Amino acid sequence: MPSPAQPIERKLAAIFAADVAGYSRLMGEDEVGTMRALADHREVMDRLITQHRGRIANTAGDSVLAEFPSVVDAVKCAVEVQEELREKNHGVPEERRMSFRIGVHVGDVMVRGGDLLGDGVNVAARLQALAEPGGLWLSEDAHRQIVGKIGCPFRDKGEQQIKNISRPMRAYALAGTTDARIEPKPLPLPDRPSIAVLPFVNLSGDPAQEYFGDGVVEDLIAALTRVKSFFVIARNSSFTYKSRVVNLKQVGRELGVRYVLDGGIRRAGKRLRITGQLVEAATGHQLWADKFDGELEETFELQDKVTENVAAALEPTITAAEIARATAKPTDSLDAYEFYLRALPHFYSLTREGLREAQKFLSQAIRIDGSYALAKALWGYVIALLANSGWASEEEMQKAIRFSREALAVNRDDPATLRLCAQNLAYLAHEYDLAVVALDRAIALNPNSAPVLGASGWVRAYIADPRIISNGLFASALSTPRWVTSWLVSRCAV
C-alpha cells in the first residue's frame, strides 16, 4: 500500500475499470483453470492497454484499473479488449467462459504512488458493475467526447442511480457486445494472396486530411489490383470500416482476406506524416511497417510517393509470407499454386542445386495445371539461369522457349509472367522485339515493380551489348533497383 506521506497529484484523465463477471463462482468450480484463464485474458488486456497509450494503475485479483490520455483511446482499447476476449471464449462452454465488464469515465482523479483515487475512479467502477458480461458502459461525459470519432453504436441507457454518487448519471452501453451475439460466418479465403486496404485514420483532427487519406487508400487499392497474383478487396467493401474501431482478425474473417493494410495520417504544422502497416489477419503478426513525411504544399507528390513505395514494398513482403506459409505445409496436401511457392526459396538461392530443386517443384505445378502461365514462365527462367552457366541442355532450352510462348499466349495481363517470359525469349530465342513489347506492357500494368523495371533495363542493355551476359548481370535482374535500371538503360544509348 502507498504510504500516506506520498504526494498526491490531481489531474483529468479517462478512467478504464474492468473486472470478471462471476469470478467467485468460476474460482469455486475450478481454481487452477480459472487462474490460468485469467492470466491468458489479462495478457490480452495489458497488451492492448499499452498499445492505446494507457497505464495500468491498480490491479487486485480479477479487477483492472487504468488511465488514458484521452477518452477515444480508452474506448477504442475497451472495444478491442472485448472483441479479442470474445474470440478466446469461442468454443468454451458457456458456464466456463471468462467475460469482463468494462466501464469508462472521464473526470478528476488523484494519483498517489501510482494508484488512482477519487470520484472519477468510483464512477468508472460503478459503470463497470452495471455492464453486462462482455459489455462496455460509458458515462455521459465520456460518451460526449467520442461522438463522431468512433463508429461503434452506443445505446442510451437513461439516468442511472450510481452508488455513493448523489445525483443520477446518464449512461451509454456499447451495442451488440455480449457473448450471446451471433458471429457472422467467416468467408473462405481465395486461392491467391488476399488483401484489404482499410481507410487510413485521421490522427490530426483536421477534416481536410480525411479526404487526403481516402485518396491515398484508393490509389493503393488501384495499384495493388494491377498485381494479378493478388486478390484485392474493392473500395466499397473496405470503406465500410471507415470511422469504426475494428479488430483486424475480425476484418480478415468478414472480408475473407489473409492480409490487412491499415495506417494513419497526422499533421504537425505544415508537415504531414503517413504511417502504414501490413498485418497477417489471422495471427495479428506485423509483416511490414513504414512512415512517410512531406510538406502540406506537396500533398499530391506525397500521395504519389506513398502509393509507389507501399505498392512496391507489399509485393515482395506478401510473397515472402506466402512462401513461409507454403513451406510449412506437408507436400502431399499442396496444390499447383503451393508447388509454385515451394519452388521460390530454392529459386532465390541461385545455386545449381537450388535451381534444379525449383525446376522439380515447378514441373509438379505444371503437371497439375497445364495452363499455369506463371509456373511455366518461371520454369523457363530457371533454365535460362542454368544455361547462363552452361548447365542446361539444348532440349531444356527449347522447352523453356515453348513454355514462355505458351505462357504469353495464356496470360498477357500478369506483370510477373510478362517479365519472366520477356527475359527468357530475349536470352534463349533472341526474340528482342517481342521481349520489349512484353516488358512495356508489364510496366504499364505495374509501374512500381522493381523486378519488371530491372528486367526492362537488362533486356535493352543486352540488345545493345550481348556481352553483358558474361558479366553476370543476367541473374541480378531478379531484383534490380531503379538506379541500376537507369544505369543499364543509359548504356543502351552509348
- Give per-residue pLDDT as tens, 322-343: 666 655 443 333 478 778 888 9
pLDDT in tens, 85-129: 988 887 788 778 899 999 999 988 888 877 888 888 888 988 998
Report yes or no on 3 lying in a domain: no
Looking at the structure, do residues 201 and 162 belong to the same domain, yes or no? no
Percent of the chain surpassing pLDDT 90: 25
- Can you point out the beta strands (E) in 140-284? 154-160, 169-174, 194-197, 201-202, 231-232, 259-268, 271-280
The alpha carbon of residue 103 and the mean position of all alpha carbons in its chain are separated, in whole angstroms, by 30
DSSP SS3 for 480:
coil
The Cα–Cα gap between 447 and 485 comes to 13
* Assigned domain for 1 exists: no
Residue-number span of the structural domain to which 347 is assigned: 331-492
Q: What was the pLDDT predicted at 421?
A: 95
| Sign of the dihedral through C-alpha 394, 395, 399, 402 | positive
Predicted confidence (pLDDT) at residue 464 exceeds the cutoff of 70: yes
Between CA 284 and CA 403 the distance in angstroms is 39
Q: What's the CATH number where 97 sits?
A: 3.30.70.1230
Residue 216: how many other CB atoms lie within 10 Å: 25
Confidence of residue 358 (pLDDT cuts 50, 70, 90): very high
Range name among 204-208, 312-316, 399-403 with the lowest pLDDT average: 204-208
| pTM as predicted | 0.43
Q: Is the pLDDT of residue 492 over 60?
A: no
Residues 134, 163 share a domain:
yes
Q: Which one of 2-6, 31-35, 73-77, 296-300 scores highest in mean pLDDT?
A: 73-77
Higher pLDDT, 52 or 1: 52
Tell me the CATH number at 289. Answer: 3.40.50.10610
- pLDDT given at position 267: 75
Please indicate, yes or no, if residue 183 is contained in any of the structural domains: no
Mean pLDDT of the chain: 81
308, 337: one domain: no
Q: Are residues 138 and 230 in the same domain?
A: no
Which residues share a beta bridge with 392? none
Q: Could you report the per-residue pLDDT of 161-215, keeping only the tens digit for each? A: 776 666 778 899 987 654 434 344 556 777 678 899 998 888 776 666 677 778 8
Supply the pLDDT for residue 486.
43
